[in-house]
Every structure is written in structure tokens, then in C-alpha cells.
Structure 1
């Protein structure tokens, strides 16, 4: 198998044509590695730390030649590639060392075993279906029933146990003893889908990056809004990608250990 074969297989599963118009999926840096056997480092966000991790793995004998990321490296057009610009520096290092960088973002959000679907599986949602269908069997978010109703407090503790977020925010008016049966999930920034989630009959909605007024909107739509953080809600799908790549027979695939949440919370002193 070559890198070209791997990307062809992936794009047959999560077609780049499904990405949103504002998105930038696909190759971010392609330094002529298509015919090489894939040695893939999977990450949520491509950062200098991840690129340096790839270089360190090379020094240790694992010749990483592809960083496969969920978030795009390049969102806005680059005006300069230089050492003073983090994105420019990553592009420079990738070209210099022959490491490709590929992104699967909103196309990967929609598919089976994508970001939302993996959350639904981890929380054992029954008969999950897209919150917003975009094509046959795919779409944004997932909604389904828990195996049995459980108190909101129990659900929050399960989310903390399964996803290990640094913190969990939830609607302040919520009664922790209230039973929750129907749950919607969407990894990453999903508060813009509140109206669609409310129409599914969900009682609670797990997502991230929720703002003050979005918690207010959730209350007004009779939804318990749960924010477990961007990293915690999307990182599990990256781990699942490693499994998929290994089953495809790639030479080496591993999950980045330098991926970062970018947030810390002060614990009570």
C-alpha cells in the first residue's frame, strides 16, 4: 500500500466533496510522498509540537511521512512562509523533511465512525441517526436513546469517565436528578445546531465551545446543554482512525502524544 492508496481509500469513505464551502479538507502539504508506504501520525490539530513529534519518531527509527489531522493546517490563504509564522514554519518543515500533511474535517464529521458517530458509540446510543442529514446515512451529529433512562448526574459522570475532559459545563437550571433517555451528540463546536437538536426530541445535547447565550438558548429550547470541550469530544475519533489505518495494512500508524487541549482549569486550592 502507498500513501496514494490510503488517501484513495479514505476519500471513498469520507469524500472531500462533502466538506463545507468554508472548509479546507484534503492535502495541506504534499511534498512528493504519494508513492511511499504510509507511516502515519494521526492528530486532532496539526501544530509545531506534532510536527516535532513526527521528526522525533524518525530519529527513533519510525520514518513518519504523513501527518493525518482532523483540523486543517491552512484555513486562510498564506501570504508568507517563514520561521516567524507557526503555519509557515510547519509548511517549511514538512517540505524540508518530506512529511505530508492531510486534513479530514467536516467531511469526516458526517460519516459512520466519524467524530459524532464515535461519540454515539462510546455513550451506547441505540439506533443513532444524524441530527442534520446531508446524504443517505450520513450527516452532522447523532441522536438516539440511551439503553435506559438515567439521572442527569449519572450521565455527566459517564461523560467524564468516557471522555476524560478537564471540565464539564452544563445548563445551570438543570435538575441533576432528572431522567435523560434521548441524547444528541456532536463533537467539536456544535451549538449552532441547537434548533435542529431540539426538533429531534433530545433531552440533552453533548457538544463543545458553547457560549453564554447558547446556554440560554438551550434552556429556552428545554435542552440540557453539555459542553465537554472540543478536544475531548473529537479526540476519540482520531484514535478510531488509527484503528482503521491499521486494518488497511499501513506500515505504521499511531496516535499523536503531543496533541493538545490548549486549555487548563484551576482546581480548587
Structure 2
């Protein structure tokens, strides 16, 4: 038993620095999440100078956070610099600021959250915007199509970086290709008889981006149950094995004492 305690102590000492390092980075990410939300809330009350100062402090934390993957770093920094760039002149509107900071807030949350990231709450807004421009296609309403389509693109752009972090890239690329096709050839596509078929295909693929996260969450829950159950079984078997070993050892000791006497 003493040997086991010594072994465990050695392991914890060996891993101690790594655990401390990971804890510090987790703390940085949690602070980053809190500050991103603070900047967004300040922008909603038009306290732009305060929001900008919070963003400047976020930049310092980003530079000191080292546990991110290359994709997470890249997407976070792009979204961050987009937000900072907005404040370089005084021509921005409240809607623009809120949109940029919402986009950044969603990205930060996507980086630190494994279960139900905030961007999934945008499903209703995105699909509603999609439905509006889809109706213009069905009605052959050329006059209002681009207005509704641009609104959809704006909502999609807000959630897009977060989707890139959480959804397989091939699924996102499939949706991107269809959106770009509609963007370039919308006037021709609307005149075609199969335009409804094409737009419904895009709708299914768009919906699948959100379905993907639901599947991942189910898989995560399943793996947690498996790991937890497996851990309990291993611990139980280890304990039973140790008790059996101890009992056999005690029996051997008793036999040896009996032989001496």
C-alpha cells in the first residue's frame, strides 16, 4: 500500500506543473468569455469607449493564452481584429457594433464551450431570415429578393466563424458553395423551374449545421456515461482484487506461523 501511495505522489508531482499551466489557461479563457460578454453589453447601451477599453484588455489575454488550437487562434484573432477595426473611425452605427461584438462573443463561447454553445441559439433567427428570402423566390419577387437575401447573409456572417469551429468543415463548405452560387446567379436561378428544388436543398444543408451539434452533444453524453461507468467498474475490480490479494497474503502468513509452531 505504501508503494502505491509513493507512486501516486510521484505522478502528481510530475504532473503538477502541467495541471497548474492548464488551470491558468482555463482561467484566461473564462476571463476572456466574461469580458467579451461585457463588451457586448456595453455596446448595447452605447458605451462605446468602455467597450473599446474592454476589447483592448482582451487583446492582452489573447496574447497570453497558449492552449488554443491553430484554428481557434486564427478565428478568434480575425473576429477580434474586426471588432477593434470598427472603432477606428466614428462612422459606425449601433447595429454594426452589436453585430461585430455578438460575432466575437459567439466565437469566444464556441472555443470554451463543448456543450450547447451560444451560437446554436441563432438557429431560429438564421432560418427565419432564410425563409423570408425563400418566399421571395417562390413568389418570383425580384424587387424584394436581394433585400431579404442580404439580411440572411448578415445573420449567417454573424454565426459563421462559430460554426467553423464546431461543425465539420466539409459540411460548412457545402453550404458556402450553395450560398455563393445563389449570390452570383440569383437572377438566373429564380427564372429556372428547379429553383425551388435548389433552395430547399440549401435549406436542408443549412439545418444540418445545427443538427450536427445536437448529434455531437448526444455523443458526448454517451461517452461520459461510458467513461464514468467504466471508471467505477475498474475501481471496483481493483478494490476486489486488492482485497483478494490481501486475504491470500494473510492466509499465507497464518500458514507460516502455524508451521513454525
Category of TM-score, reference length = shorter chain = under 0.3
- Identify the structure with bigger relative contact order (alpha carbons < 8 Å, sequence gap 6+): 1
What's the TM-score, normalizing by structure 1?
A: 0.21
Higher helix share: 2
TM-score by length of 2: 0.22
State the structure with more CA Rg: 2
Q: Which has the higher strand share?
A: 1
